[in-house]
Amino acid sequence: MAIDIGLVARRGLIACALASMLAAAPARAQTVLNFWDMVWGPPEYSETAKKLVDRYNAENPKIQVKYRAVPWANWYQTYVTAIGAGTAPDLSTGAGYQPVQLYDQGAIHPIDDLVAELKASGELDDFLPGTVERLKYDGHYVSLPWAVDIRVWLYRKDLLAAAKIAPPTNWAELRAAAKALTAGDKYGVAASGDTGGSHYLYSLMVNNGGGLFDAKRTLTVQAPRNLEALEFLAGIVKDGSVSPASAGYDSAGRRRAFMLGQAAFILDGPGLPDSGTPEAREQIGVLPPLSGMHGDKGTVAWTNSIMVYEQTRHYAETKDFLKWWSRNQKPLWTEGHAGPMPARMSFHKDPYFKDSALRSFIVENYLPLGKTTGANAPGIFAALNALEGDGVMQSLTQEILQGKDVGPGLAKAEGKLKTIVQ
Amino acid sequence: MKARLDLLPFAFLLPSIALIGLVIAWPLLTGIDYSLHAGTMLRQGRFVGLDNYTALMGDEDFWHALRFSVVFAVANVVGAYLLGLGIALLMNADIPGRGFFRVAFLLPWIIPSIVSVVSWRWLVADANAPVNLLLKLMGANPIYFLSSDAWAQVVVFAVKIWRSFPFMMLSLLAGLQGIDRTLYEATAIDGASRWQSFLYVTMPQLRNVSIVLCILMTIWTINDFETPFLITGGGPSYATENLILMAFRYVFVRNQVGIGSAVSFVTFIILTGLALVLLRRQRES
């Protein structure tokens, strides 16, 4: 019997092709979601987030989530170019005002139905008061909160103890302590001329009952309370109590100076101590929320959230993952040491928070006082992103840290901010 | 048949024309179009004519960035040229270890800019930075280089000169080696000093290469983004913000693509003017 080798080979190939198509069928049924997550903590943060995604993938074989850690450098360009190129993720975490800014540009899918579901089940009550409503924009919920990034005053216990100075409780005490702790190459306060440095201005303004906006979202940069707050910082600079390197420092430089004990006070996030050695961590304490000139208390805070993009072709699956992630993300703190504080209050009951004097103090005393950079305007709005990133407030911070007069700088800043807000 | 032969050269040019159109003409025309509209990167707004350019002319930041760009370019061209020429003259002489030094002096040009610029930042960051420790050893007070407008500009200029001089050195060295030795012999017979030989033989012979180098370096400096961005981010108080950083700030931070594109187009016109001078110079020489 003659065998047609060519025929056998052709049939073999067809059989192989059919088999591979059948084998590929389940893979095609699997929905692939792209989740982009900012780097919210030390290296272990992204590792923990990846493990969490792996857990979800194992529990949900029909959905395959691909995790990508996005560095903060040039984050806005990363998202805008991806959206422009049609390669946006299905969902992402992001900067505090990112969802409203991208929503205005037609890139964000509202999650009203998800919020309604969480409300119906009572799960919405688990979120810190105001955090969900803060993300309601133009009548829609544009993202779901997952964390609150807040600025708190941290201090070096060793430096204060050596000088026999009690932790300050108000501005006057802070200024006096900073002056007393300045000697040689050690300074009372370390600040920086970058975005992190501008947080000093926002925090002090809010602390003094001021803010960049009024309730009608009109700019009030030169309001007396703001001027007082900035004059207070300028006073500490003129005392010589702020490290002269501050105007040129970036946040890493400012933090290094504090962690090395070259400065006694710093305004930073609750996660800063976790970035230090165990010995340095032991030496860091948190000041009570300071009373401003008129007895007000407060600080700046951002509600960090997870948003869904219009370009997603799998909204139902994305929503499913978002719900799961929101409920199961506690390891991001307990193992990943995420910097911001959880938006879900049930997470605050974990020993990671309860047993830490610093974290539990921040949860109880600082979180209720946090206001956005849009204070005293309700909610958040797109201009806040440009306002924070533009450099006007950074430039003002640098001028104050250089020892220049506040008044002219503030007037100039208001003129520039008006063009941004318009 | 004749007509087909006439079209053949154009057919050969087509791929190049298509490529140039794709990578130069299309982005340029898109940029001009953006500069005539309001809106963001994701959503182009209404046509506003020359409003973005008018707004730019009334913006003091623009004039400051333009001034800084010019000063930055002049400082770098002068600094890099003088340093490059000085070292090229040394490398052209018969000195021991000449091969090693030729490679060593190229290092600032070879090292990736992110590595070299960030290292420079570390060198001058604060009172405990190596440069300040050196000053302390010499009995001087520390200088907070990145906290002062003037010092920050000096640092940006210094780093740019450090990164630029190897190219100047290499090109001028090639120019020096191309000078006919008999010219020097003739001036020696005439009793000219070394300075006179340098002034009346070397410099005239390097004239053309020097002009081309200076124009090229001016274009590259005005176009430089990474040096000021990585050292100071344009600060403090916009003191080191050039036109390119300003365009970046408007487009990617302020989300005002129209004005950012207008800044880019104005920069493009300045650079095109310089390029035309360069082309004319090359044609003359």
- Residues A394, B232: C-beta atoms closer than 8 Å: no
pLDDT at position B40, please?
80
pLDDT at position B5, please?
65
Residue A368 has pLDDT above 70, yes or no: yes
What value of ipTM does the predicted structure carry?
0.71
Q: Where are the beta strands (DSSP E) in A322-420?
A: 341-342, 370-371
pLDDT at position A22, please?
47
Which of chain B's residues have a Cβ under 8 Å away from the Cβ of A77?
252
Average pLDDT, chain A: 90
Residue-wise pLDDT tens digits, A83-124: 988 999 999 999 888 999 899 889 999 999 999 999 999 999
H-type alpha helices, A143-272: 157-162, 171-180, 195-207, 224-238, 251-259
Residue B2 has pLDDT above 70, yes or no: no
Q: What percent of chain A has pLDDT over 70?
A: 93
CB within 8 Å of A51: residues ≥ 6 apart = A331
Instruction: Report helix, strand and coil shares of chain A as percent, to nearest 5.
Output: 50, 15, 30
CB within 8 Å of A17: residues ≥ 6 apart = none
pLDDT at position A15, please?
55
Which range scores top for mean pLDDT: A185-189, B5-9, B143-147? Answer: A185-189
Nearest alpha carbon to residue A88 among A273, A274, A261, A309: A309
Q: Which residue in the block uniquely carries the two structure tokens 């504080």?
A: A341
Judge whether B227 lies within some domain.
Answer: yes
Nearest alpha carbon to residue A155 among A30, A32, A314, A280: A280
B141 to chain A, any CB pair closer than 8 A? The answer is no
Q: What is the mean pLDDT of residues A190-218?
A: 93
Assign A181 to helix, strand or coil.
Answer: coil
Which of chain B's residues have a Cβ under 8 Å away from the Cβ of A401?
147, 236
Residue A383 has pLDDT above 70, yes or no: yes
Residue-wise pLDDT tens digits, A219-231: 999 999 999 999 9
Q: Which domain holds residue B117?
A: 46-284
Cis peptide before A57 (omega within 30 of 0): no
Q: Name the burial class of residue A19, with classes exposed (0-12), middle (13-18) and buried (19+) by CB atoms within 10 angstroms of its CB.
A: exposed
Which of chain B's residues have a Cβ under 8 Å away from the Cβ of A250?
233
Residue-wise pLDDT tens digits, B136-173: 999 988 899 998 999 999 999 999 999 999 999 999 99
Q: What is the mean pLDDT of residues A126-130?
A: 95
Name the residue type at position B174. A
Domain ranges of chain A: 31-149+302-369, 151-300+379-421
Judge whether B5 lies within some domain.
Answer: no
pLDDT at position A3, please?
47
CB A286 within 8 A of CB A294: no
Question: What tokens appear for A359 in the block?
Answer: 């974290």
Residue-wise pLDDT tens digits, B164-215: 999 999 999 999 999 999 999 999 999 999 999 999 999 999 998 999 899 9
CA-nearest residue to A78 within chain B is: B252
Instruction: Tell me if the domain spanning A31-149+302-369 has CATH number 3.40.630.10.
Output: no
DSSP letter, residue A303 = E
Q: What is the mean pLDDT of residues A199-205?
A: 97
CB A216 within 8 A of CB A374: no
Residue A1 has pLDDT above 50, yes or no: no
CB B238 within 8 A of CB B218: no
pLDDT at position A420, please?
77
Q: Where are the beta strands (DSSP E) in A204-340?
A: 263-268, 284-286, 299-309
CATH assignment of the domain containing B124: 1.10.3720.10
Please tell me the distance from the alpha carbon of residue B17 to that of residue A29, in angstroms, as a whole number.
45
Q: Count structural domains, chain B.
A: 1
Cis peptide before B96 (omega within 30 of 0): no
Other Cβ atoms less than 10 A from the Cβ of B112: the count is 9
Residue A13 has pLDDT above 70, yes or no: no
By a Cβ cutoff of 8 Å, what residues of chain A touch chain B?
Answer: 74, 76-77, 80-81, 83-84, 101-102, 105-107, 185, 193-194, 243-250, 253, 257, 262, 385-386, 389-391, 394-395, 398-399, 401-402, 416, 420
pLDDT at position A280, please?
86
Q: Rounded to two decimals, what is the model's pTM?
A: 0.82
Residue B105 has pLDDT above 70, yes or no: yes
Please tell me the distance from the alpha carbon of residue B201 to that of residue B187, in angstroms, as a whole number.
8
Judge whether B209 lies within some domain.
Answer: yes
Which CATH architecture is the domain A151-300+379-421 placed in?
3-Layer(aba) Sandwich (3.40)
Measured in residues, chain B has a length of 285
CB within 8 Å of A227: residues ≥ 6 apart = A406, A407, A410
Please tell me the distance from the alpha carbon of residue A151 to that of residue A356, in angstroms, as a whole number.
18
| Residues in a beta bridge with A342 | A147
Matching CATH topology for A31-149+302-369 and A151-300+379-421? yes
Confidence of residue B261 (pLDDT cuts 50, 70, 90): very high
